[in-house]
Amino acid sequence: MQVSELIERLKKYPAGLEVLIEQNTDNGRTVFSKEVWGLAEYEPKEEDIFCLIYLPPLLNHPDDED
């Protein structure tokens, strides 16, 4: 699954799902930021993200077919 697919899938989940985002900064350092999807104004770009860590683990959404 591609990062863009993960982002779209996470957006289906209710507000309150916390994800940890590893992101590049302008000075080259890496920072971690916790976002609450559905409430956060930050819209991640695929090129900004190295990995997504799900808290809690990603479960099947009722809309998922698989």
The structural domain count of the chain equals 1
**pTM for this prediction:** 0.27
Enumerate long-range contacts of 35-38, CB under 8 Å, 24 or more apart.
Answer: 37/10, 37/11, 37/13, 38/11, 38/13, 38/14
In a domain, residue 29? The reply is: yes
Structural domain for 8, as ranges: 3-55
Tens-digit pLDDT profile for residues 15-60 = 555 555 555 566 665 555 555 554 444 555 555 554 454 445 445 5
Number of C-beta neighbours around residue 31 at 10 A: 9
